[in-house]
Structure 1
Amino acid sequence: MARGGHQDKAYLRKLLPKAEEHCDGDDYDQVSDLYRNKPSSYFKNIRRHHGNIMVPYVKDDGGDPRCPINGRLNGLFFGVTLYRGDLPDMSPFGNTRVIVPLDELFDDSANLYFADFYCKPSRKHIHYVTLVLTDAGSDADRFCRRHLIQLDPYNNNYLWKDEFSDTYMTLDQSEVQVEVMYTESIDMSHRHLTSTPTIGQGHSTPGGISKSENCDICNVW
């Protein structure tokens, strides 16, 4: 039987304080873009068979098994965390990168939600915070309102807008990665793709990687 919104939110209300405690600090970076790495074949397929439209697809089972968006919400994953003040110079997810300006997606019509906080068994020293960015009033937004915790776009620990300028900030913590799932399609017609060296297997793991079960930092006991 599918979990209801009250159950999902009750769980996230226990998980979010774990993330808040671990990610609390005064270090942050000014950012202007989201970035997404995939193998070059992924982008070629979009151009040849999907009219250059990058279409959201269902979230896998990676991260916390109780994450409310697993298998239930479509989206596109982006990174926002910088490495030493700049975009990472390599990626485990693919050799080709597209960059999308934050002000195109995270504008006044967008809502931001907390969805997950986890680490992977093979990299327990790195923790991941998963945010969801929606268009207000969309089907995805209505799902997130029921099942996730909405964040203040001007006041949170992970990704926020400066209220008095056209700038965005994100957490700068060496062992925390902030990932953003955007729930709408993106036109790739005028996007510039760049080549990026890969690390590890060079592509995402089919089905995702489930969180470590014995980490005191990110598990709710």
Structure 2
Amino acid sequence: MTEPPSGLSSPDVEVKSLQLDDRPESESADSGIGDGDELPVPQQILISNVTCDSFKISWNMESRGQDRITHYFVDLNKKEDKSSNKFKHMDVPTKLVAKAVPLPMTVRGHWFLSPRTEYTVAVQTATKQPDGEYAVSAWSEIVEFCTADYSTVQLKQLLLKAEAIAGRMLPFTVFYRNQQREYFQPNSQYYRSRDAQCCRMLPSVKDNSGSHGSPISGKLEGIFFSCNTEFNTGRPPQDSPYGPYRFQIQADLLFNQNTNAYFGDFYCMYTSYHYVIVVLAPSGSKGDIFCRGKLPALDRSNNCFLSCGEEEDGSLSFRHAQDVILEVLYTEPVDVSLGTVSQISGHQLMSLSTLNAKKDPSCKVCNISVGR
């Protein structure tokens, strides 16, 4: 727990790690710690003001023994399940000790709190004795809560990191999307992201690849496109991890003066190359409304990743960043008849697939202080 930012009234609380043994809910943290029978037990735990790496906590307790309380013990644990965050720092103690202060108090710390992660928390009151030992109350009830997504503050931190490595801009003319043959066949039963009758590609909910706290994962619907080109040819690469059939569409049909652009994520997957997600949403669309206030907006004609400029003759020109792999998430249906489908001559490089890919939590290039 550290000093809360301006606008939060919670007290400045010093937090230290405290090695406590696992215990049944009704027992104190350590039988060797002093008798705390006269200390009040926290009741009706309330969690509020939850962010991606902090929360406020308060509770009620009987007046008996309150004057003896010098510290609070906070037992914070990640709620384990099959989809739990595999990258939590397991060596960091989650048993915390804080000096007793007026409630609510803010628990803050990216070293033990991860975004979009479920936790359980319980509290004891304690008295520090002259010999340095503690007398403690029984544990409170256990309550559950989930940390929040990255806010625009954290996303802007990611944006600055991504801008630092984006490199020079290269021209391109088409967006493209690779899939298996069945994806483009009418009435195919293999893919649900097609409206076969109307020959449209339909948006689907973004998976959980990338940064753990990205607000678009599992929430924003869209269709992923690429626009990266080979440096020596200026054309899309012939290899793809997603299938040997490629849909190509002229860039101005998806990205024009009526399209808003947003920064969505920046990550890597234990490799030397990095990915940037740019969201393209037609102005006023469902996707555009979702992105407003959640994602940093990009200047359509002047940003480091994906730009749309207007030439003197009124035509549009497009550029993409050279040194990152762009994933462009378009939030609306796309009519297949607006483009072309052909088979590529390269290979399926499955190692490059980002489907549900996990971000490298140790990378200093694409991680920020609040975690993955």
Deviation at 1:50, TM superposition (A): 4.3
User: Is the Cα–Cα contact under 8 Å of residues 93 and 202 in structure 1 kept in the other structure?
Assistant: no
Which residue is equivalent to 1:56? 203
- Closer, same or farther in 2 for the Cα pair 1:88/1:99, shift >3 Å? same
Q: Structure 1 CA distance, aligned partners of 2:310 and 2:337?
A: 31
User: Is the Cα–Cα contact under 8 Å of residues 249 and 340 in structure 2 kept in the other structure?
Assistant: no
Q: Structure 2 CA distance, aligned partners of 1:183 and 1:3?
A: 23
Gaps of 5+ in 2: 1-145
Which residue is equivalent to 1:38? 179
Within the alignment, does 1:96 sit opposite 2:268 as a pair?
A: no
User: Is the Cα–Cα contact under 8 Å of residues 39 and 93 in structure 1 kept in the other structure?
Assistant: yes
Within the alignment, does 1:188 sit opposite 2:329 as a pair?
A: no
Q: Structure 2 CA distance, aligned partners of 1:48 and 1:160?
A: 30
Q: Which has the higher helix share?
A: 1
212, 215, 220: which one aligns with 2:360: 212
Q: Structure 1 CA distance, aligned partners of 2:296 and 2:199?
A: 32
157, 167, 171: which one aligns with 1:14: 157
338, 345, 348: which one aligns with 1:199: 348
- Counterparts of 1:63-212 in structure 2, within 5 Å, are 63-84=210-231, 85-121=234-270, 124-165=271-312, 166-173=316-323, 176-196=324-344, 197-201=346-350, 204=353, 208-212=356-360
- Closer, same or farther in 2 for the Cα pair 1:198/1:145, shift >3 Å? same
Q: For each residue in 1:29-86, what CA deviation from the matched residue of structure 2 results, as whole angstroms up to 9, or x when unmatched?
A: 1111101011112222377844211000000001111111000010000111111222
What is the DSSP-based 3-state SS (H/G/I as helix, E as strand, rest coil) of the residue aligned with 1:120? Answer: coil
Select the structure with the greater relative contact order (CA < 8 A; seq sep ≥ 6). Answer: 1
TM-score normalised per structure 2? 0.54
What is the DSSP-based 3-state SS (H/G/I as helix, E as strand, rest coil) of the residue aligned with 1:126? Answer: coil
Q: What amino acid is the match of 1:169?
A: R
User: Is the Cα–Cα contact under 8 Å of residues 95 and 202 in structure 1 kept in the other structure?
Assistant: no
Q: For each residue in 1:128-171, what CA deviation from the matched residue of structure 2 results, as whole angstroms up to 9, or x when unmatched?
A: 11000001111210110121010001110011122435211111
Deviation at 1:202, TM superposition (A): 8.4
Q: For each residue in 1:177-213, what CA deviation from the matched residue of structure 2 results, as whole angstroms up to 9, or x when unmatched?
A: 111100000111353211123333389565x101111
Q: For each residue in 1:95-132, what CA deviation from the matched residue of structure 2 results, as whole angstroms up to 9, or x when unmatched?
A: 110011111111111100000000012xx111011000
User: Is the Cα–Cα contact under 8 Å of residues 113 and 148 in structure 1 kept in the other structure?
Assistant: yes
User: Is the Cα–Cα contact under 8 Å of residues 61 and 71 in structure 1 kept in the other structure?
Assistant: yes
What is the DSSP-based 3-state SS (H/G/I as helix, E as strand, rest coil) of the residue aligned with 2:253? Answer: helix
What is the DSSP-based 3-state SS (H/G/I as helix, E as strand, rest coil) of the residue aligned with 1:125? Answer: coil
Q: Structure 1 CA distance, aligned partners of 2:263 and 2:170?
A: 19
Further displaced range: 110-119 or 157-166: 157-166
Q: Structure 2 CA distance, aligned partners of 1:64 and 1:48?
A: 30
Matched residues, number: 212
What is the DSSP-based 3-state SS (H/G/I as helix, E as strand, rest coil) of the residue aligned with 1:147? Answer: coil
Q: Structure 2 CA distance, aligned partners of 1:190 and 1:108?
A: 19
From the CA coordinates, give the structure whose radius of gyration is larger.
2
Sequence identity of aligned pairs in percent?
Answer: 35
TM-score normalised per structure 1? 0.88
Which residue is equivalent to 2:169? 28
Gaps of 5+ in 1: none
What is the DSSP-based 3-state SS (H/G/I as helix, E as strand, rest coil) of the residue aligned with 1:35? Answer: strand
